[in-house]
Amino acid sequence: MATTSLSHVYTDTHLHYTHIVPLDFAAVDDLPESHTWTNTHTTRAGGGGLHLPAAVPTINLRSPSAAALVGDACREWGMFQVTNHGVPAGLVEDVEAHARRLFELPAEQKLKAVRAPNGATGYGVARISPFFTKLMWHEGFTIMAGSAVEHAKLLWPLHYHEFCCRDAMDNYQKKMKSLAYKLFLIILKSLGYDEDNQETSLLSASLNQSEGALQLNSYPSCPNPSRAIGLAPHTDSLLLTILHQNDTNGLQIFREGGVGWVPVTPLKGALVINVGDLMHILSNGCFPTVYHRVVPNETRRHRFSVAYFYGPPADSTVAPLVAVGRQFPRFRAVTVREYIGLKNKHLEKAIGLIKI
């Protein structure tokens, strides 16, 4: 297996899945006990007081102040939305339409592309599911390094080309990779590192060899949204995530200081960017790795999202950048493989385990 592939560090072998196959959501009228969460998990409160909490910043990437604003947003929020990002609206719409077509297949058809117990790609429940006793109102489909064609052939033997090759998924992944790299350079610059800096050149170069992963998410209309969870709270593991959400609410981020859960409202044409654990480590804790979750939509709409997870290849090492500000490193160096392994075992406690 090539060292550039992330798929082999994401296998499920060590996880004890109750099952990998999501519920057949179309076949149930009521929220089953298996998917009913207690109120402490599903509280929707945000703000608490009289004032609505501030929303995550939206940054026009073509504006002259974009670089400074991206740096500020990473420091203060760990999340922001971008417009004028250069990803054609038609391509995003195509990918969303493909995701919708995939998840709207009959349950038995989707089973043909179900994730293998020792696999990383294909159809299945959220990867964080084994950490919770209740199941989520969610189904996902993961694509890594060429897996789309293999699964599309199983789902649409005669028309698989439309899904994976001719344009949408491949094209989208390429656009995501170049946008992510562009953002990565902007972010490094905001930390005081130029493109040709010795400390970061190895990491920058390794990013060219990584394809990242694409995660299609579906959150069907829910019969009892206040007692269900779409995707339980988590942080993303890699450097950056680029998320497209359809025009259906649900994504929330957790803000400290008594603010609580704040919605990230879909903005037509914008993409959501968030800092992941590896970027938190790289920034020496300067950027928060943001806790987020998805709550089922109250108006019985079907939410779809497409997340692109961006990071260096499995064998790359990530260590805090400490030259600027002359700080001491707050984390020890880790390989991507090692960190994913810790995350798969310990979820949010993983980051604490590498603190110095």
294 binding partner (options ligand OGA, Ni ion, none; Cβ < 5 to 8 Å by kind): ligand OGA
| Integer Cα distance of 70 and 179 in angstroms | 13
For Ni ion, give the closer residue by CB, 121 or 235. 235
**Helix (H/G/I), strand (E/B), else coil: 71:** helix
- If you search the block for the tokens 């040709």, which residue do you land on? 196
Considering the complex, what minimum distance in angstroms separates the CB of residue 201 from ligand OGA? 29
CB of 67 to ligand OGA, least distance (A): 25
Which residue type does 283 have?
A: S
Q: What is the DSSP string of 22-38?
A: PP-GGG-SS--GGGPPP
Residue closest to ligand OGA (Cβ): 305
- Residues 215-274 binding Ni ion (CB under 5 A) are 236
- In the complex, least distance from residue 216 CB atom to ligand OGA, rounded to whole angstroms: 9
Q: Which is nearer to ligand OGA, 12 or 156 (CB)?
A: 12
How far is the C-alpha of 337 from the C-alpha of 11, rounded, in Å?
A: 11
Of 44, 303, 330, 337, the active-site residue reads: 303
Task: Please say which residue, 70 or 136, places its beta carbon nearer to ligand OGA.
Answer: 136
Minimum CB–partner distance for residue 307 and Ni ion (Å): 6
Count, residues near Ni ion per rule CB under 5 A:
1
Which residues of the chain form beta strands (DSSP E)?
58-60, 79-83, 122-124, 139-144, 213-219, 231-234, 240-245, 251-255, 260-263, 271-275, 292-294, 303-310, 317-318, 334-335
- Render 121-142 in DSSP notation, one character per residue: SEEES-TTGGG-SSPPS-EEEE
Q: 332 an active-site residue?
A: no
Nearer to ligand OGA, 231 or 321 (CB): 231
Binding site for ligand OGA (CB under 6 A): 215, 217, 231, 236, 243, 245, 251, 292, 294, 305, 307
Spatial contact of 251 and 342, defined as CB atoms under 8 Å apart: no
- Looking at beta carbons, which residue is closest to Ni ion? 236
Name beta bridge partners: 305.
Answer: 217, 245
Query: Is the Cβ of residue 294 or residue 314 nearer to ligand OGA in the bound state?
Result: 294
Q: How far is the CB of 114 from ligand OGA (least distance, A)?
A: 18
**How far is Cα 141 from Cα 304, in angstroms, rounded to an integer?**
11
Catalytic residues: 303
Binding-site ranges for Ni ion (CB under 5 A)? 236
